[in-house]
Amino acid sequence: MRRTKWLALGMAMAPFAAQAEAPDDAGEAMAAASIVVTGTGLALPPGTPAYGSVVIDRDRLEDAVSGRIESVLADVAGFQQFRRSDSRASNPSNQGATLRALGGNASSRTLVLLDGVPVADPFFGYIPFSALVPDRLALVRVTRGGGSGAFGAGAVAGTIELASATRDQMPHFGASAFYGSRDATELSASIAPDLGSGYVSLSGRWDRGDGFQTTPRDQRVAATVPAAYDSWSTNLRAVAPIDATSEIQFRGTLFQDNRTLRFAGADSVSQGEDASIRYISRGRWQVDALAYLQARNFSNIVISSTSFRKSLDQRNTPSTGIGGKIELRPPVGADHVLRIGVDSRFATGDMFEDAYNAGLASNPLTSRRHAGGDQITSGIFAEDDWSPDVFGGKLVLTGGVRADRWSIRNGFYKAVSAAGLVTQDSSYANRSDWEFSGRAGALYHLSAAVALRGAAYSGFRLPTLNELYRPFVVFPITTQANAALKPEKLKGVEGGIDLTPASGVQLSATLFYNRLDDAIANVTIATNTRQ
C-alpha cells in the first residue's frame, strides 16, 4: 500500500499568534495561565484496575494498519464480533461487540462509549465501527465483565470506553492519503486551531474499495461480486473553558457507510447524525454531566442465493436515541472517591420493508411490513473506591450498585399484502420492571511490579427493538421476532495478577467464571423456521 502523509504543525505562526493574543498586563497573563482545558472526562477512580481493565494507547491506535477500530479491539482477549470480518466486509447491522467470549451477537452485549456517550444504534444495537476512526482517539479502555456506573444497563459483558484525542495530541493541521490493491483508497484530514482559551477540531475521512471475494471460488456465480465499500465520516469537537476548574465539551458526528455483500444489488446503507454536549467540573465537588441525541437510519437489499433476485428491501429504518447523565463526586476525604449519579436513555425506531417473490422472473412485490416500538431505561448508581491507610496505600477496595427502571412500550408489527389486504396487525403489551446490579473488587499492590486483583459483578441488557419486533427471511429460513424476550442477565467472578517487569511491559493473567441467563439467540423451532 502506498502512503503519503503531510503534517503542518503551525509552528511558524505560533510567535505571531502569541504576540497577537498577548495579555495587556501581568495580571491578565496569570489569569489566562490558570485556565487549563483538557477536553477529557474526570480522572479514573483508583479501583478501576481491580476489574482487569485493558488500555490501548494512542500509539497503537495510530499504528493500526487496517485503520479500523475493531481490528485494534481484537488485541483484547475475549473480544468478539458476530461476524469475523471488519466493518468493510459485513452487514452493518451485524456489528455487535461482545467480551468475555460470551458468544458473538448482532446486537452489542458490550456498552461502547465515546466521551461518555453510548454509540450503539437505537434500533438494532450494532456499533457503527466505520465512524469510530482510531486517529481521532486518545485511548481505548476495555473493562471485561458486568458493568456499573453510568449507563451500566447495557454493559452485560463489559464496557469499551473511547476517549477523543486531546489538544496536545492533535496537530494544527494533518492529512493522509493511502492507496492499495483493489483500488482501495483512504483520504483523511484534520484541523485543530486554538480558539481563545479552548480549541476546535474538525476531521473527516473517506475510504472506498472494490473489496475482496467473500464467496469460495467453487461457489461463485455470475451474480457474485466482491465486498465493495464506500464510506465517509466527519467529526466536529469543541472545548471551551468556563472557569479555572470547569469546561464545556461539544461533539458532532456525521457518517454514511455504503456496502455491497456477496451478490450484485445486495447493497446496504447506514448513516447517522450524532451530537452531544458535556459539562466537566474539577472543583471541590466534581461534576460530569452530559446530554446526547442520535438520529440513525439503515437500509438493505437482500438478494436470493438461489434465484439471485431481490427477496427483501429494508428500505427505511429510522431510529432516534436521546439520553443523558449527571455524575457527582462529593468531597468525602482523601481515602475515598465516591461517585453518585443518575442516567437515562430513550430509544425509538421504525422498520419499513418490502418483501418480493424471488422465485418468479417478474420478481413481484408480495408484502409490505412495518414494525417498531419504544424503550426507556433510567437508573441511579453509587460507587466508592476506598484506599485505607492500614496497608500503606497498597490496597484499594471498590464497590458499586445500580437500580434501573426499564420499560418497553408501543410495540407493533403490521404486514399488508401486495393487494393492500392486512395479513397481520399485532400490538404488543407494554412491559416494565426494575433491575438491580452491582460489582465489587479489590486491588492489592504487592510491589511496584506485581498487583493482585479480584472482582464479582452482575449486569443486564435489554433486547433491542430489532430483536423484539422485526422478523426476517434469508431463504429458505424464516426467523421470527419475539416480543416476549427478557433482559439478558450476567453474573460473574474473576481473579488475576498483573506483572510490570519493565517500563512499557505488562503481563496479565485472569481466571474468570461468567454465566449469562436468558441469552438472546436465534433458535430453531421448526423446519426452516427460527425465532
User: What does residue 324 show for φ and ψ, rounded to 5 degrees?
Assistant: -175, 170
Pair 85, 71: CB distance under 8 Å: no
Residue 16 lies in a domain: no
Query: Side chain identity at 316, as an amino acid letter?
Result: N
Pair 396, 386: CB distance under 8 Å: yes
Q: Which three cell numbers stand for residue 346?
A: 430513550
**What is the domain-level CATH number for residue 462?**
2.40.170.20
Residue 35 lies in a domain: no
Q: Which three cell numbers stand for residue 421?
A: 389486504
Residue 29 lies in a domain: no
Question: How far is the C-alpha of 1 from the C-alpha of 178, rounded, in Å?
Answer: 7
Tens digits of pLDDT across the chain (531 residues): 333 333 333 333 333 333 334 444 444 444 444 677 888 999 989 998 999 888 999 999 988 888 889 889 988 888 888 776 777 877 888 888 888 878 767 788 899 999 999 999 999 999 999 999 999 999 999 998 877 788 888 899 899 999 999 988 988 999 999 999 999 999 999 999 998 899 999 999 999 999 999 889 999 999 999 999 999 999 999 999 999 999 999 999 999 999 999 999 999 999 999 999 999 999 999 999 999 999 999 999 999 988 999 999 999 999 999 999 999 999 999 899 999 999 999 999 999 999 999 989 999 999 999 999 999 999 999 999 999 988 878 999 999 999 999 999 999 999 999 999 999 999 999 999 999 999 999 999 999 899 999 999 999 999 999 999 988 777 678 888 999 999 999 999 999 999 999 988 889 999 999 999 999 988 999 988 989
**Residues spanned by the domain of 422:** 48-530
If one counts the domains in the chain, the total is: 1
Give, in order, the Cα–Cα distances in Å from 235 to each of 115, 277, 284: 13, 14, 32
Give me the pLDDT at residue 475, please. 66
Mean pLDDT of the chain: 89
Give me the pLDDT at residue 80, please. 84
Residue 130 lies in a domain: yes
Residue 394 lies in a domain: yes
Residues 6+ positions from 37 with CB-CB distance below 8 Å:
167, 197, 198, 199, 239, 240, 241, 247
User: What does residue 526 show for φ and ψ, rounded to 5 degrees?
Assistant: -165, 175
